[in-house]
């Protein structure tokens, strides 16, 4: 079975998403075909696994700021970008929604199985590397691939994990496969047909006698593919098996993509005017230049926060300084005496500060002096600027230049975070460095963080907060601070979280302790459903005319004739017609009467919005339109419905 085109359209290496999706003549029935290929435009129920895919470019400076994650529903060897509803990754689900090309616009997601097992991050893992081609192989040999994956890369993971993770596996010979689907211009769609390529490679490996299912992870390597993946080095599922290597098998790419398989997001940077984490900040997706999950060209160790997520920082390798204190850190090099890092957890928050000491030893031997002349500080959780579980490198020395490369806290220097954590760097010997942590308690910090697919700003009264992704300010105890959320053009405010709640544009917090507030902003897509998507009672007629938005409409003059339209969104509009013969109708939403509206007008107007309703959040609703049957001008036309949904 060939894979449906699934992973979106790319232009110049960046994923572009349509803001307007037009669906016309959608049948009202819900059908799943026996070969599991749902018809585009139909309401469909699919069972599959939710996966998050990370695609990685051949990194340039501009690429550091890209968000390269998309969520998909994987059904066999087909994948559909999941839209409209957020779902927990790596779970088996039932999704009810409408197929539109390569996307499924979901109205509901029901979990069947809790989080599925991922690739083990400790112990011994086995990986099957499949060399596949559809035109001709490239110069990579089986022996060189085995040496790269199971000697070079595996040794990197063993050292970086302090012996907690060991890798082994097998490499196939070059295997011919059918290859990816092609677009209208005949260009290969290696990224769009990822699941198809993986399925073909697994089938070919099985035919050669490999027990494919016995491996913990699966990697397919193919010669450099043009078309939709020409700028991509590779891509991988996050926290699940599956890596695609696009003509790249060096340590940098293989470590990074397998890092995704083990569950890691990218290692970021967060550069703020004034240093640290505060106002006027710039977020870099791949911004950490010292980390293999960032922009490290020489494949440096994962930072302490990332290693902790993988379970590599136990056995005393992290010392907790949340209550304050002093400790001496060893460098990150393999075999060093613990601890290799310190962590400071902020009360009433998920925020943590991670402190580490890097030296040019082992796989960090390439590190420049600017990264080894002091302590590196990362922050994770809320207030970190990170949109995901990744960590961000903080520049604590803005006076030297706001840059990731001058981010170290040098011996004798101190830095105080916006929430009152003071970190002081002590003596550094080249193998160890001391660090002290204390707390400043005279002021309470207020942190605001914007999240979601949209954008906007949060401001405060009294002044102090005024920015987009993340802001912080400190206030005297008992101060009442009023926050206001203002969405950017094309976005919508979707509510407060943390120490504020509700959907009003303002909220007030009283500074009796440290406070953290989230402001959600969403982008929206508008879907137009023609009348065929609705359910009609008896008494309706069909009509065709270019004056209708989709070329056809249904109309009725019969009193009591009704139409029901079910949708999932934050706004719905009814598109109809006005004129001398047009009459009144009743509007019901979720069974409750809303209002009576007349479409009577002196002159005819076609394809106009005659009624609209906003909702607090995107959610399922039922709209019912009932014809009143006014004598002399009773006709009501059902042209279309438009639904605004979060993207």
Average pLDDT over residues 152-176: 96
For residue 38, pLDDT beyond 70: no
pLDDT digits (tens, 9 = 90+) for 504-513: 999 999 999 8
Determine what percent of the chain is predicted with pLDDT higher than 90: 52
DSSP 8-state class, residue 225: P
Task: Pick 73 or 381 by higher pLDDT.
Answer: 73
Q: Give the mean pLDDT of 380-407.
A: 74
Cα–chain-centroid distance for residue 121?
22
Query: Could you tell me which residues are beta bridge partners of residue 69?
Result: 54
Confidence tier at 315 by pLDDT (50, 70, 90): confident
pLDDT at 420: 82
Does 354 score more than 60 pLDDT?
Answer: yes
* pLDDT tens-digit series, residues 234-281: 999 999 999 999 999 999 999 999 999 999 999 988 777 655 565 567
How far from each other are the two terminal CA atoms of the chain, in whole angstroms? 30
Q: Is 592 exposed, middle or buried (0-12, 13-18, 19+ CB in 10 A)?
A: exposed
Q: How far apart are CA 573 and CA 621, in angstroms?
A: 13
Token digits for 576? 């109809």
Q: Residue 468, CB half-sphere, CA atoms under 13 Å: how many?
A: 15
* Closest among 320, 313, 276 to 437, alpha carbons compared: 320
Tell me the C-alpha distance between 220 and 120, whole Å. 19
Given its phi and psi angles, is residue 553 left (phi above 0), alpha (psi -120 to 50 degrees) or beta? beta
Residue 631: the pLDDT is: 86
Express each pLDDT in 98-145 by its tens digit: 888 778 888 888 888 877 888 999 999 999 999 999 999 999 999 999
pLDDT of residue 9: 28
d(C-alpha 324, C-alpha 51), whole Å: 40
| pLDDT recorded at residue 136 | 97
CATH code of the domain made up of 534-646: 2.60.120.260
* Between 440 and 305, residue with greater pLDDT: 305
The secondary element (H helix, E strand) that includes residue 601 is none
Query: Using one digit for the tens of pLDDT, what is the confidence trace for 457-491?
Result: 899 898 878 777 777 788 888 899 999 999 887 78
pLDDT at 125: 95
pLDDT > 60? residue 575? yes
Please compute the mean of the pLDDT values over residues 543-556 and round it to a whole number: 90
Q: Are 619 and 626 in contact (CB under 8 A)?
A: no
pLDDT at 33: 30
Indicate whether 19 pLDDT > 60: no
User: What is the pLDDT at residue 441?
Assistant: 72
- Host H or E run for residue 180: none
Q: pLDDT tens digit string along 176-216?
A: 999 999 988 899 999 888 999 999 999 999 999 999 999 99
- CATH, domain 444-523, list 1.25.40, 2.60.40, 1.10.260, 1.10.132: 2.60.40
Helix (H, G, I), strand (E, B) or coil at 198: helix
Lowest mean pLDDT among 347-351, 397-401, 424-428, 541-545: 397-401
Residue 647 confidence (pLDDT) above 70 = no
Q: Give me the pLDDT at residue 387, please.
A: 60
Per-residue pLDDT at 47:
92
Give me the percent of the chain exceeding a pLDDT of 70: 88
Q: Do domains 444-523 and 534-646 have the same CATH topology?
A: no
The residue ranges of every structural domain in the chain are 1-249, 268-439, 444-523, 534-646
What is the arithmetic mean of pLDDT over 8-23?
26
The whole-chain average pLDDT of the chain stands at 85
Candidate ranges 202-206, 371-375, 549-553; pick with highest mean pLDDT:
202-206
pLDDT at 2 over 50: no
Given a cut of 60, whether residue 15 has pLDDT beyond it is: no
- Give yes or no for a contact between 296 and 303, defined as CB atoms under 8 angstroms apart: no
What is the C-alpha to C-alpha distance for residues 386 and 277, in angstroms, rounded to an integer? 11
Which of these, 298, 302, 235, lies nearest to 66 by C-alpha position?
Answer: 235
pLDDT value at 169 more than 80 = yes
- pLDDT 10s digits, 24-37: 222 332 222 333 45
């Amino acid at each position: 079975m060939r894979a449906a085109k699934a992973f979106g359209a790319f232009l110049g290496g960046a994923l572009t998403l349509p803001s307007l999706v037009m669906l016309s003549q959608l049948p009202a029935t819900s059908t799943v075909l026996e070969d599991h290929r749902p018809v585009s435009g139909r309401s469909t129920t699919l069972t599959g696994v939710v996966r998050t895919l990370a695609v990685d470019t051949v990194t340039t400076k501009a690429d550091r700021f890209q968000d390269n994650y998309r969520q998909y529903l994987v059904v066999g060897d087909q994948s559909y970008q999941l839209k409209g509803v957020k779902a927990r990754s790596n779970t088996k689900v039932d999704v009810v929604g409408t197929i539109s090309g390569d996307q499924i616009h979901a109205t509901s997601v029901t979990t069947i199985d809790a989080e599925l097992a991922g690739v083990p991050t400790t112990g011994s893992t086995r990986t099957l590397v499949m060399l596949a081609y559809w035109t001709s192989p490239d110069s990579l040999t089986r022996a060189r691939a085995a040496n790269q994956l199971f000697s070079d890369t595996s040794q990197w993971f063993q050292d970086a994990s302090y012996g907690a993770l060991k890798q082994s596996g097998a490499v196939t010979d070059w295997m011919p496969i059918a290859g990816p689907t092609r677009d209208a211009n005949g260009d290969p769609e290696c990224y769009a047909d990822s699941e198809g390529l993986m399925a073909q490679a697994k089938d070919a490996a099985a035919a050669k006698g490999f027990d494919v299912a016995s491996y913990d992870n699966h990697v397919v390597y193919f010669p450099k593919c043009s078309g939709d993946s020409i700028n991509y080095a590779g891509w991988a599922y996050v926290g699940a098996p599956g890596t695609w290597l696009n003509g790249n098998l060096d340590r940098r790419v293989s470590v990074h993509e397998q890092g995704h398989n083990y569950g890691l997001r990218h290692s970021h940077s967060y550069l703020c005017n004034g240093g640290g984490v505060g106002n006027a900040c710039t977020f870099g997706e791949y911004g950490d230049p010292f980390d293999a999950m960032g922009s490290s060209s020489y494949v440096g160790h994962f930072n302490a926060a990332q290693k902790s997520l993988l379970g590599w920082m136990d056995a005393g390798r992290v010392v907790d300084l949340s209550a304050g204190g002093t400790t001496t850190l060893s460098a990150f090099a393999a075999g060093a005496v613990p601890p290799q890092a310190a962590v400071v957890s902020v009360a009433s928050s998920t925020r943590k500060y991670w402190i580490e000491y890097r030296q040019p030893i082992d796989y960090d031997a390439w590190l420049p002096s600017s990264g080894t002349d002091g302590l590196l500080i990362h922050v994770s959780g809320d207030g970190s600027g990170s949109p995901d579980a990744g960590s961000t490198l903080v520049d604590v020395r803005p006076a030297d230049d706001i840059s990731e490369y001058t981010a170290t806290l040098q011996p004798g220097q101190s830095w105080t975070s916006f929430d009152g954590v003071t970190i002081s760097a002590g003596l550094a010997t080249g193998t160890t460095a001391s660090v002290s942590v204390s707390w400043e308690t005279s002021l309470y910090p207020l942190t605001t963080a914007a999240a979601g697919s949209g954008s906007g700003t949060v401001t405060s009264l009294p002044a102090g907060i005024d920015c987009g992704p993340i802001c912080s300010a400190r206030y005297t105890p008992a101060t009442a601070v009023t926050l206001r959320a203002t969405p950017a053009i094309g976005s919508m405010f979707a509510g407060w979280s943390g120490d504020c709640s509700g959907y009003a544009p303002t909220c007030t917090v009283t500074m009796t302790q440290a406070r953290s507030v989230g402001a959600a902003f969403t982008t929206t897509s508008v879907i137009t459903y023609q009348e065929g998507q609705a359910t009609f009672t008896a008494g309706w007629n069909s009509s065709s005319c270019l004056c209708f938005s989709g070329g056809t409409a249904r109309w009725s003059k019969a009193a009591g004739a009704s139409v029901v339209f079910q949708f999932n969104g934050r706004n719905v509009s009814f598109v109809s017609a006005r004129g001398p013969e047009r009459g009144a109708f009743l509007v019901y939403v979720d069974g409750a009467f809303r209002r009576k509206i007349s479409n009577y007008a002196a002159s005819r107007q076609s394809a106009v919005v005659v009624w609209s309703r906003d909702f607090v959040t995107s959610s399922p609703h039922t709209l019912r339109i009932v014809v009143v049957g006014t004598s002399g001008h009773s006709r009501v036309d059902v042209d279309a419905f438009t639904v605004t949904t979060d993207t």
